Chain A
Amino acid sequence: MKYIFWLCAAITIIVITFMGAYIIVGGLPFFSHTNIVSFLLGKKWNPSGEIFGIYPMLITSIYATVGATSIGVVVGMSTAIVLVEILPLKAAKVFSAAIDLLAGIPSVIYGFWGLMVIVPIIDKFWGGKGAGSSLLAAIIILSIMILPTIIRMSEVSLKAVPKEYKEGALGLGASKFQYIFKVQIGAAKSGIMAGIVLGIGRALGETMAVILVSGNAPIIPKSLVDPVRTLTANIALEMGYASGVARQALFATGMVLFALIMLINFLLTQFIKNAERRNGNARKA
């Protein structure tokens, strides 16, 4: 029986390895058509003309992720601090339930809401070539979508800071504000960073919500209100009818995405390891 359980565990390794290998095998032949440099840095994407440059999508994904993460970190950390240090326990519980709900809302509903509410607002105030469908809309929706992740992870690590730190800081005459910003956040750093990195992964990987609000034009954005297309959207939009070398190009796009996500995941495990070591030390002390 032990071996059946062992097999179940081994399946997780098999699945991720097989999937990674399959995407790489599907994408590699593409590089005999277009070399990797002109693929990554090519500024034109025209599948029917067999011109495949994903630079516009790559840069859009980076812009959107950085933008969403910046907003998400500010709002998310403030919310986490309020939850842990400011609100009374009962209110914090209700607030927490609301955040669980926010985490459970399907991405397509975020996208739909963004399309019906955020896009018209952007169109009204700033216009833009996509009539509101834009990089800005994508950033706003993504920042909302990664909020629960950042809040949860920050909340957990802020709570894990030993009580003695607080007592010590307050005992030495620090104000509550000084304690939070100079002691608590410092002690919870690894966990918070892990939350942020997890959020970055979410933002980078989100597809459907982004397709609905971003306009999907494969161009390099020159302003926040330009319509844009991300790496993920590129795969989702064209996979349905691409064939031959165009399909291989999508696999190659998937490879780039896979590589980015694995890199992020590697960083994440490092942060978590640090956090665990730190917690272990704190408990010993």
Chain B
Amino acid sequence: MHVKHKDRIVFTALIGISLLTITVLLWILGYVFLKGWRHIDIIKLIPPIVATMYMILIGLGISAPIGIGAAIYLNEYAKGGKFVERIRFATESLAAVPSILFGLFGMMFFLTTLKLGFSMFSGGLTISMMVLPTIVKTTEEALKTVPVAYREGSLALGASKLATITKIVLPSALPGILTGVVLGTGRIVGETAAIFLTAGTMYKLPKNLMETGRTLSVHLYLLAKEGISFEEAYGTALVLLLVILMLNICTYLIGAKLNKNRGR
């Protein structure tokens, strides 16, 4: 009886503390929605939205093929050993490096050394390095879930290793790989530190790869930092949040499909 009583007190405390997490989330969401919905000015947001698109396209265009390729090597070809361990450590480290260091590196290497200037291209290259570990990790997990029997069956029927990978393994792992790509998109959309040092901060519509521009997050950061217009900031914050919400829903839909395929 005594112990039960103590249990109840502790559990109540734990639930109370964990409610803090939900409270904060609702507070942030509620605040941004209530303050923002009247201030969405989509015309004014077109240049940042276009810049954000550039970042997503260049960033994923580079990191997705390389990341998926690396994951294929790790899961389908590599047989353990020092090299694999080093790749693991490299991806873990790359994931742990703060975005500002990517910005610092990108600014010096792409802008100064390679003379690409503040441009969509510099920003895209920098951000592609940042999302690389996310893509590698999720693709590897996805490949791991493909049953060995699929590969054995395909190989036994006389398909080459490459054909097995491209026609059997990759299609089965596709939902998982897509999840990684969506997660990567989320990181690119939300990133500020690495982008504002490489793609620039100017409010303008980038017409090609070599032009500068500011993404939605950089736009919000500058509006908030300079305190020019909090109303615009509220609107931008809400648009940014809606994009993230949409991406989150995407991962759930993909996840649901994945579970259905597995017959759960």
Contacts and interface: CB of A to CB of B under 8 A. Distances in A.
A63 B201 CA distance: 31
B108 A109 contact: no
B227 to A, nearest CB: 9
A12 B15 CA distance: 42
Interface stretch (B95-103, B150-158, B169-177): B95-103
B112 to A, nearest CB: 10
A interface, over-half SS: helix
Contacts of A122: none
Contacts of A101: 25, 29, 244-245, 248
A204 B237 CA distance: 24
B104 A212 contact: no
A142 B92 CA distance: 21
A256 B191 CA distance: 22
B28 A109 contact: yes
A104 B184 CA distance: 11
A166 to B, nearest CB: 15
Contact of A236 (B4, B18, B103): B103
Nearest to A258: B101
Contacts of B29: 101
Q: Kindly state the interface size class of chain A when it binds its partner.
A: 35 or more
Interface stretch (A38-46, A52-60, A112-120, A182-190): A112-120
A262 interface: yes
A75 B18 contact: yes
B254 to A, nearest CB: 13
A269 B65 CA distance: 26
Contacts of A177: 3, 6-7, 10-11
A15 interface: yes
B interface, over-half SS: helix
Contacts of A236: 100, 103, 193, 196-197
Contact of A109 (B18, B91, B240): B240
A155 to B, nearest CB: 11
Contacts of B89: 269
A75 B21 contact: yes
Contacts of B6: 175, 177
B218 to A, nearest CB: 8
B192 A251 contact: no
B38 to A, nearest CB: 16
Contacts of B58: none
Contact of A232 (B78, B100, B233, B247): B100
B66 interface: yes
Nearest to A15: B129
A195 to B, nearest CB: 13
Contacts of A23: 101, 104-105
A106 B96 contact: no
B244 to A, nearest CB: 5
- Per CB-CB distance, the 5 closest pairs between chain A and chain B, nearest first, are A205-B98, A106-B190, A8-B69, A5-B73, A79-B18
22 contacts: A1-B162, A2-B73, A8-B67, A11-B66, A12-B136, A23-B104, A78-B17, A98-B21, A100-B251, A111-B221, A115-B224, A116-B230, A147-B21, A177-B3, A207-B99, A207-B193, A208-B192, A236-B197, A240-B197, A261-B97, A264-B96, A265-B92
